[in-house]
Amino acid sequence: MQVRLSLVPLLLAVLLILPSCVSPPHTARVVRVIDGDTIVISGQYRVRYIGIDAPEDGEPYYEEATEYNRYLVGGKTVEMETDVTDKDRYGRLLRYVYVDGTFVNAELVRQGYATVYPRDRFPDNRYHDRLLEAQSEAQAARKGIWAAD
């Protein structure tokens, strides 16, 4: 009986540690769109798009950015790619997101629903030039947030 009781703390420790060892999927279904740059995927993981910033609640184009993001990924299966940083300070997964061959991060910028972070703000810059190109297209076409400039 002594041996069994001494195993209980060990088993409890393993059960508590095991969930944190499970890595998030590379492909998942979007179960909720939070705003223009954040989604929730199956498994209840929050995902923040790398390299871009969409308007926050109460800011101009917040609703449009959120709706366009919902149009792009809502209820769909997405593929996700990491860069340097796995999670942000809020515990959200940081990812480049793709749906049906579309690079979602860049598409939101191209349509004028998000801006690109400066290269030196974060270390995750694999597609920074591509995102800047999309932003230049939106600015030239005066789309979304660039319409008022």
User: Tell me: the pLDDT tens digits for 22-81?
Assistant: 556 699 999 999 999 999 999 999 999 999 999 999 999 999 999 999 999 999 999 999
pLDDT of residue 34: 98
pLDDT of residue 148: 75
Look at residue 17 and tell me if it is in a domain: no
What is the extent of the structural domain holding 55?
Answer: 22-146
Give yes or no: 56 in active site: yes
Look at residue 112 and tell me if it is in a domain: yes
Look at residue 67 and tell me if it is in a domain: yes
pLDDT of residue 57: 96
Look at residue 11 and tell me if it is in a domain: no
From the list 62, 61, 33, 60, the residue with the least C-alpha distance to 49 is 33
**The one catalytic residue among 92, 95, 107, 110:** 92
Whether residue 16 has pLDDT greater than 80: no
Give yes or no: 67 in active site: no
Give yes or no: 92 in active site: yes
Total count of domains within the chain: 1
> What average pLDDT does the chain have?
90
pLDDT of residue 102: 97
Look at residue 8 and tell me if it is in a domain: no
**The one catalytic residue among 32, 56, 59, 142:** 56
Give the CATH number for residue 111.
Answer: 2.40.50.90
Whether residue 3 has pLDDT greater than 60: no
Q: Which residue has the higher pLDDT, 18 or 116?
A: 116
